[in-house]
């Protein structure tokens, strides 16, 4: 796919990048080369390649899924401005 100077100007406008007129021809050639490489990649057969999330084959360490309340109520309430009977005390907002 060939990119011309008008396309470079349009891309620059969309990207909010100021590109000098003298530089547009060089950028058009560079973008054409990049798109050529992308077209070459589309010719590869990747049907037998499994999707991957990393280039290194590894399994993330898993921890036991155990439900707990944290057992930190007293530590948390110690930071509260006011607490009573194991709960936060807040001002009444509804009459």
Q: Is residue 90 part of a domain?
A: no
Instruction: Give the HSE-up count for residue 61: Cα atoms under 13 Å, Cβ half-sphere.
Output: 1
Reported as a pLDDT band with limits 50, 70 and 90, residue 77 is very high
Residue 48 resides in a domain: no
- Domain membership of residue 65 (yes or no) is no
Number of domains making up the chain: 1
pTM: 0.49
**What pLDDT does 70 receive?**
83
- Which two three-digit tokens encode residue 65? 């899924």
Residue 88 lies in a domain: no
Sign of the torsion angle spanned by Cα atoms 84, 87, 91, 92: negative
Residue range(s) defining the domain that contains residue 33: 5-41
């Amino acid at each position: 796919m060939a990119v011309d100077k008008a396309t470079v100007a349009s891309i620059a406008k969309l990207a909010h990048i100021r590109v000098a007129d003298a530089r547009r021809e060089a950028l058009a050639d560079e973008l054409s080369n990049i798109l050529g490489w992308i077209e070459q990649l589309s010719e590869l057969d990747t049907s037998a390649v499994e999707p991957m999330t990393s280039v290194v084959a590894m399994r993330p360490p898993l921890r036991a899924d155990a439900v707990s309340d944290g057992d930190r109520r007293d530590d948390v309430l110690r930071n509260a401005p006011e607490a009573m009977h194991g709960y936060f005390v807040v001002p009444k907002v509804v009459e």
